């Protein structure tokens, strides 16, 4: 099974969007699944505030694993990660119009009314799955580009 499909399957099985992406990509960079799930558990639904999409934050955690230098405690050591986060964010925004959960879904799932609306519209099974797959696809593209260079 490819990782895009794996991420969407995880999400459909009940993993949070952030967990679905990070657990799928973290494993290939040495992060045990249980640890990845715990780390990413608080980022779903835009950190439960409708802010940055959990699929995006899960991908950014994976980018840290892929592009993070051993000496990441300095600005220079984080330069490659910052550049990759910027690239990922631009690509995601270009495809979906925003990085914000509430804008991507058209409702604020951090409120009871918004959460109910998202359920009624089946957004978690339709739109969110597409966002998880999209984040994974961008990660795949970035990894291929990195491997080719």
Mean pLDDT, residues 58-73: 91
Query: pTM of the prediction?
Result: 0.94
Domain containing 8: what range?
Answer: 3-148
How many domains is the chain built from?
A: 1
Cα 1 to Cα 95: distance, rounded to the nearest angstrom? 24
Q: Which is nearest to 8 in space by CA: 19, 123, 108?
A: 19
pLDDT, mean over the chain: 95
Task: Name the residue with tokens 């967990």.
Answer: 19
Cα 105 to Cα 53: distance, rounded to the nearest angstrom? 10
CB atoms < 10 A from the CB of 101, how many? 31
Among 2-6, 79-83, 86-90, 144-148, the range scoring the smallest mean pLDDT is: 144-148
Cα 81 to Cα 64: distance, rounded to the nearest angstrom? 6
Task: Name the residue with tokens 């405690």.
Answer: 73
Mean pLDDT, residues 84-102: 98
Mean pLDDT, residues 106-135: 96
* Interval 45-56: pLDDT, tens: 999 999 999 999
Does position 1 have pLDDT exceeding 70, yes or no?
A: no
């Amino acid at each position: 099974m490819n990782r895009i499909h794996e991420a969407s399957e995880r999400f459909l099985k009940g993993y949070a969007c952030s967990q679905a992406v990070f657990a799928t990509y973290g494993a290939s960079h040495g992060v045990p699944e249980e640890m990845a799930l715990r780390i990413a558990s608080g980022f779903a639904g835009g950190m439960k505030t409708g802010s940055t999409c959990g699929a995006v934050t899960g991908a950014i955690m994976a980018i840290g694993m892929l592009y993070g230098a051993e000496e990441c405690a300095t600005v220079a050591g984080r330069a490659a990660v910052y550049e990759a986060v910027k690239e990922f964010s631009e690509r995601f925004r270009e495809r979906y119009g925003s990085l914000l959960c509430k804008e991507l879904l058209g409702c604020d799932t951090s409120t009871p009314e918004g959460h109910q609306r998202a359920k009624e519209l089946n957004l978690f099974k339709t739109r969110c799955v597409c966002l998880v797959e999209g984040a994974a696809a961008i990660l795949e593209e970035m990894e291929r580009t990195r491997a080719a260079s």
